[in-house]
Structure 1
Amino acid sequence: MSENPAFGAAVEDLSQAFERRTSLCRPFLRVLPVHGAAVSTLGAPFGSETICASDDTAARLDELQFDLGEGPCWDAMTSRRPVFTADASAADPRWPLFAQAMGESEALSLFAFPLALGSLNIGAVDLYTLGAGTLTTVQVDDAIALSSICARQVLRRSIADQSSTPGEQDQHSDGFSRREVHQATGMVLAQLGVSAADALLIINGYAFARGRTVREVAADIVARRIDFAEEWSDPSETL
């Protein structure tokens, strides 16, 4: 349970960000002792793009990591674990080019949290402080909880922003029945212990990532050719 009285409001704001088209960064700033935040997608299938940045410094941090292909956000996404650095400009064998490029940046401490849903790696949240900073265990837990909600919002936006995704084409085609999709949603719900909304979002994200239709993926789930319990248990396997 968060000790921050602002946490509940931040959860509500972030949970409604897709419908309201509000900032995905602001809830993190309301809850955590950081000066800036950026939310980004990384690599395939969504491309490397900054979804939101609270300021120019946060946007620049993302841009450097995109250009160099290394940095905390990449490590957070691939490891699916938070990644921290107390001094981003100090020599670091993990990101030698990034550390060198950070030499003139105002940001000092960086905190990166993965955005993932099921076995789908989406991107990361980058947070920074201007001086030396740390996060308590409770604050890390708050950031992880907010990142989990943020991942769903980013995925919903990414799918909706596509002018014509395979899933949308399939859902509007003649004779398309939702019965198999409902059945597959129930199976994913049981496999992962998530809500029905999240189960359907996982199916849509899986279809989008692999260039398949929702109907095709649903059929494979019902036929037990796809088991998301196995997908979830092996974070190293990305879509």
Structure 2
Amino acid sequence: MQTGAPGGDTGPWFAALSQELMKQADVKATLDKICQRSLDVVPSGDFAGITVRRRRARLETLAHSHEMALRCDELQYDLGEGPCAEAAIEDESFLVRSTADDPRWPRWGPAVARLGVHSLISVQLPGTAMDADRDPLGAINIYARKVDAFTTSDLARAKLFAIHAANALTTAQQVSTLSDAVEARHQIGVAQGVLTQRYGIDVERAFGIMQRYSSHANIKLRDVAVSVVELGELPAAYDDLSRPEKPTG
């Protein structure tokens, strides 16, 4: 594993770093690695956090190298202002030389300065090149205790790193979604088999019954299937009029 800030020709360094991010086992491991390696890309930072954009533009920190990074991030969410909150939604990146004196965030800046955090870089995790219209994934936030700890070169490296990080995170999310879909299909197939044997019905009717239960009870079809497999029959809460009769004889 390469460590340390890149010097000279940064292309091979970032290519190797991109491959490292792509090799992570899952989304959580990818986020943790992005967080860890951001401090190699910008070594003047003391700690880092990864803000991820959720549904309805809700923001959450899913990886952090130090509790102080999490605290600084969450202050932004609570106050509704701050560089990472803006970077995660708008197409902007920020270099803050002095949190106490930056007029853009009059509540958040002085608050984190009192915590001993005096400068930061925040760069967007962009929608990937494969889907230019995709909403931003979030932001990488690199904090320092020192005033004026970062340079414009640090910001440029962080922005380049964010592109590699976003591609790796998107890939990890896609693999996770595919794995979940395969597992869900397997569970549904097993549940269909349980119902066909239990009630003497065909697989199409078994699937239709689970679909109706899923809709009426507002429960995911996969969760209905898991219950069927665990119980060996339809859940007791299912409308008795719609339950198939058990075979006799």
TM-score tier after normalising by the smaller chain length: 0.5 to 0.7
Deviation at 1:131, TM superposition (A): 0.6
Counterpart for residue 77 of structure 1: 88
Residue 128 in 1 paired to residue 143 in 2? yes
Counterpart for residue 77 of structure 2: 66
Residue 27 in 1 paired to residue 37 in 2? yes
Residue 40 in 1 paired to residue 47 in 2? no
Q: Deviations over 1:138-161 (max 9, x none)?
A: x33321121112223334555666
Structure 2: which amino acid aligns with 1:15? M
For 1:91-110, what aligned pairs fall within 5 Å after superposition?
Answer: 91-92=102-103, 94-110=104-120
* Aligned counterparts of 2:93 and 2:163: Cα–Cα separation in 1: 12
* Aligned counterparts of 2:161 and 2:7: Cα–Cα separation in 1: 11
Counterpart for residue 17 of structure 2: 10
After superposition, the Cα gap between the structure-2 partners of 1:55 and 1:107, relative to the gap in structure 1 and judged at 3 Å, is: same
Q: Is the 8 A contact 2:22 2:171 kept in 1?
A: no
* Aligned counterparts of 1:14 and 1:104: Cα–Cα separation in 2: 34
Structure 2: gaps of 5 or more residues: 1-5, 189-249
Counting matched residue pairs gives 169
Structure 2: which amino acid aligns with 1:14? L
For 1:1-239, what aligned pairs fall within 5 Å after superposition?
Answer: 3=8, 7-19=14-26, 21=29, 23=32, 24-32=34-42, 33-45=44-56, 47-92=58-103, 94-117=104-127, 118-119=132-133, 120-132=135-147, 133-137=149-153, 139-157=154-172, 168=181
Deviation at 1:64, TM superposition (A): 0.7
Structure 1: which amino acid aligns with 2:125? L
Deviation at 1:73, TM superposition (A): 0.7
Structure 1: gaps of 5 or more residues: 175-239
Where relative contact order (Cα < 8 A, 6+ residues apart) is larger, the structure is 1
After superposition, the Cα gap between the structure-2 partners of 1:46 and 1:160, relative to the gap in structure 1 and judged at 3 Å, is: farther
* Aligned counterparts of 2:158 and 2:68: Cα–Cα separation in 1: 20
Deviation at 1:91, TM superposition (A): 5.0
SS in 2 for 1:79: coil
After superposition, the Cα gap between the structure-2 partners of 1:2 and 1:160, relative to the gap in structure 1 and judged at 3 Å, is: same
SS in 2 for 1:95: coil
- The alignment yields a C-alpha RMSD, in angstroms, of 3.4
* Aligned counterparts of 2:88 and 2:171: Cα–Cα separation in 1: 18
Counterpart for residue 243 of structure 2: none
What TM-score, normalized by structure 1, do the two folds share?
0.59
* Aligned counterparts of 2:14 and 2:174: Cα–Cα separation in 1: 27
What TM-score, normalized by structure 2, do the two folds share?
0.57
Deviation at 1:45, TM superposition (A): 4.7
